[in-house]
A and B are shown apart, each in its own frame.
Chain A
Amino acid sequence: MTSLASGYGDTGERRRTEDAPLEITALIDEETVQSIVQEAWSALIGEDEFLVPLPGGLPDDAVSSWVEVLGPWTGAVVLTCGRTTAEELSRCLLAEHAPPVLDAEDVADGLGELANVVGGNVKAVLPGPSVLGLPEVGSAPAAGPDVLRVDLLWRGRSLTITLQGSAGALTGHQNDPHKNEVPL
């Protein structure tokens, strides 16, 4: 069987040898993250939907969705935007199946699935082997010093993607390592 870590520059073995935590900015850059997000937007939101790499400032009612990555780099891939933006994104995802009034469950489902798709593709770039958690929605988990932040505008509205190392800040289902992981 092929080694799970084959094809990656860092196997995790080297990390243990060097006894130094992996920093997200050494593993992936803003342009790669932006490319991943744009691909997700084009496929899921609409082929003419473009993201502009500009900071715009998040509204006070910002909501986040995220998935955890557990592996040589452990942390979360977090999508944050205003609630109006989250509703609009979910409406785009549902397209003709969107009801006149979206309920909170649909909005959370849609926003969570966007984080899931982005997170899955970010995980593919990071050193493995690693596992991906199920999407969660709510207030963004606290970030430590290991953060890569990408500010984007979609339809003139701000959204951010942050890749943030756990640094002991993650909560939730990481306490149950079998519940939400892809078993590899």
Chain B
Amino acid sequence: MKILIADDSRVMRQIVIRTLRQAGYDDHDIVEAEDGADALAKVTSESPDLVLSDWNMPNMTGIECLQAMRASGSAVPFGFVTSEGSPEMREKAANAGALFLIAKPFTADTFNEHLDGVIA
């Protein structure tokens, strides 16, 4: 399985990768994107099986990336990993087609809770 991780923080991308491993998802290909625009391009060029994206990023936000993906016909599973998890954001994410929203800070258990049904 190929997982695309989009976050403008390199440190946070490393933390997400580490948490995936701690949650037991340690045998997957990882592709990194540094903002929403980069993620959108790599959805096409890398054909990931899952996108884990921050929400608040420069150039293109995560929600804009998701909306552009769905508008272009991409049905790649998409989840947010973001510093905010208000009910309004969760509703907006779900309406745009996101499977889940994980709020930072997170733990390996949080990842298991949301990803066990997504990552084979």
User: Which residues of A approach B to under 8 Å, CB–CB?
Assistant: 1-2, 4, 7, 39-40, 42-44, 90, 93-97, 106, 109-110, 112-113, 116-117, 119-121, 123-124, 128-129, 132, 134-135, 179-184
Contact = CB atoms under 8 A, between A and B. Distances in A.
Given A39-B105, A119-B83, A93 B63 contact: no
Contacts of B15: 44, 93
Contacts, number: 85
Interface in B31-49: none
A7 B11 CA distance: 33
Given A116-B83, A120-B83, A182-B55, A90 B11 contact: yes
B86 interface: yes
A43 B107 contact: yes
Interface of B: 8-12, 14-15, 18, 55-58, 61, 63-64, 82-89, 91-92, 103-107
A129 B92 CA distance: 14
A39 B107 CA distance: 10
A30 B102 CA distance: 26
Contacts of B64: 183
9 contacts: A4-B88, A39-B105, A43-B104, A97-B18, A106-B10, A109-B9, A119-B83, A132-B56, A183-B63
A20 to B, nearest CB: 25
Q: Which one of A96, A97, A129, A180 has the highest number of Cβ atoms from chain B below 10 Å of its Cβ?
A: A97
Given A180-B58, A183-B61, A124 B105 contact: no
A128 B86 contact: yes
Given A43-B106, A117-B104, A124 B9 contact: no
Nearest to A93: B11
A117 B105 contact: yes
Contacts of A184: 88-89, 92
Nearest to A130: B86
Nearest to A120: B83
B10 A124 contact: no
Closest 3 CB pairs of A and B: A120-B83, A43-B105, A120-B84
A120 B12 CA distance: 14
B85 A124 contact: yes
Contacts of B63: 183
B84 A44 contact: no
Given A39-B105, A43-B106, A44-B105, A110 B88 contact: no
Contacts of B57: 134
Contact of A132 (B9, B84, B106): B84
